[in-house]
Amino acid sequence: MTFRQPLTAAMLGSLVLLSACATSQRPSGDAPAPPQLEADSGVAILSCGSLPVRTTFNADQLTLEAGSDKYLLERVRSGSGAKYEVPGDSATSYWLKGDKGMLVIKGQSYPECEPAGALLLQAGEWVVEDINNGGIVDRSRVTLNFGNDGRVSGIASCNNYTGAYTVAGSSLTVSQLVSTRKACIPGLGEQESNFLKALENVSEFKVSDTGALVLKTETGDSLTARLQ
């Protein structure tokens, strides 16, 4: 496993959690769902200047991971967009407008937060849930791990693979793919072949409103994955 950026799936564990015991007066009425995200859930990985940030939405709450710290915020009223604050501490807030946001931590304002490109890919292990809009074989496992060394690796279905990748904005290129040669049962063998073909020809990526990573090729093939 390659070393990753500070923003990884491991950050979901033992980090500083503010406001666990704080109380707040909730505004009356139901607030609309955050723009660009489903009402119940959504994940975004952003860069606020040089600070890596991961936001996870759950109804009217927002878990914000900034660098090595973690905060729990709640939705408050705002004139536009969707604003979240640590209960009882308005000096820590995140104001979402579209796919960008403004971050303030303990009174310190950060540059506008924008989708994070390669940092997004490096957030952790992505588990593939769909290949070319056909799902995947039951109980099979296909994974993507993008290291900060420019290498991608994982499980293709029954074999391990590795390769190189480059990112430019939302463009993604994968090259030099190689895999082990273990024999596969027919169903897994076909799935593995389709996965590796799509991965080798991927040209762009995005994160859906529900936090899924979607890789697409110029010929219409696609891979959909979620963080483990």
| Range list of β-strands (E), the chain | 16-18, 42-48, 51-58, 61-66, 69-76, 82-86, 89-97, 100-105, 108-109, 113-115, 125-131, 143-146, 151-155, 160-168, 171-179, 202-207, 213-217, 222-227
pLDDT at position 10 is 36
Mean pLDDT of the chain: 82
Question: Is residue 2 in a domain?
Answer: no
8 A C-beta contact, residue 62 and residue 55: yes
8 A C-beta contact, residue 119 and residue 5: yes
Answer yes or no: do 91 and 107 share one domain: yes
Query: pLDDT of 34-56, one tens digit each?
Result: 333 333 456 777 888 888 888 88
8 A C-beta contact, residue 43 and residue 207: yes
Question: Is residue 144 in a domain?
Answer: yes
Tell me, what CATH number does 164's domain have?
2.40.128.270
pLDDT at position 117 is 77
Q: How many separate domains does the chain show? A: 2
Question: Is residue 28 in a domain?
Answer: no
What end-to-end distance do the CA atoms of the chain give, in Å? 15
Answer yes or no: do 110 and 128 share one domain: no
φ/ψ (deg, to 5) at 190: -65, -45
**Which residues form the domain of 185?**
118-227
Domain boundary pick from 75, 94, 115: 115
Give the confidence band of 17 by pLDDT, cuts at 50, 70, 90.
very low
Rounded to two decimals, the pTM is 0.58
Query: pLDDT of 60-102, one tens digit each?
Result: 999 999 878 999 999 999 888 889 999 999 999 999 887 789 9
Query: pLDDT of 94-109, one tens digit each?
Result: 998 877 899 999 999 9
Answer yes or no: do 18 and 109 share one domain: yes
